[in-house]
Amino acid sequence: DIQMTQSPSSLSASVGDRVTITCRASQSISNYLNWFQQKPGKAPKLLISAASSLKSGVPSRFSGSGSGTDFTLTISSLQPEDFATYYCQQSYSTPRTFGQGTRVEIK
């Protein structure tokens, strides 16, 4: 199975900050990497697919990069509605493994 490791597991940031979350796969997954945002009590929401393709309707302050084993989600200027938990996930093979999540909290 492919293991997905996210870092950090949590972070505190202020509105307007630039935030970077990293995700590492235990083997190459090409660009088969999705990023999700989840708020309490809600279903996950797809932000980025294929490592860097922003889903329609998602603000352009979100961006993704990487290929192979190392990936990054960047929020260029954190907004109040961005405080949530973020997950990476590989769709290269089964089982479709998720990272453990990164909780973004208000500083």
Binding interface with another protein (CB under 8 A): 1, 34, 36, 38, 43-46, 49-50, 55, 87, 89, 91, 94-101
Closer Cβ to another protein, 32 or 75, answer by number: 32
d(CA 98, CA 87): 7
Environment class of 16 (CB within 10 Å of its CB; exposed 0-12, middle 13-18, buried 19+): exposed
Sheet of 10-13, strand order: 10-13, 102-106, 85-90, 33-38, 45-49, 53-54
Minimum gap (Å) between residue 87 Cβ and another protein: 6
**How far is Cα 71 from Cα 32, in angstroms, rounded to an integer?**
10
Shortest distance (Å) from residue 35 CB to another protein: 10
CB nearer another protein, residue 43 or residue 107: 43
**Distance between alpha carbon 74 and the CA centroid of its chain, in Å?**
8
Cβ proximity to another protein: between 82 and 90 the closer is: 90
Identify which of residues 17 and 65 has a Cβ nearer to another protein in the complex: 65
Residue 80 Cβ vs another protein, minimum distance, rounded to whole Å = 23
Write down the least CB distance from residue 81 to another protein, Å: 18
Please check whether residue 102 is in contact with residue 41, taking contact to mean a CB–CB distance below 8 angstroms.
no
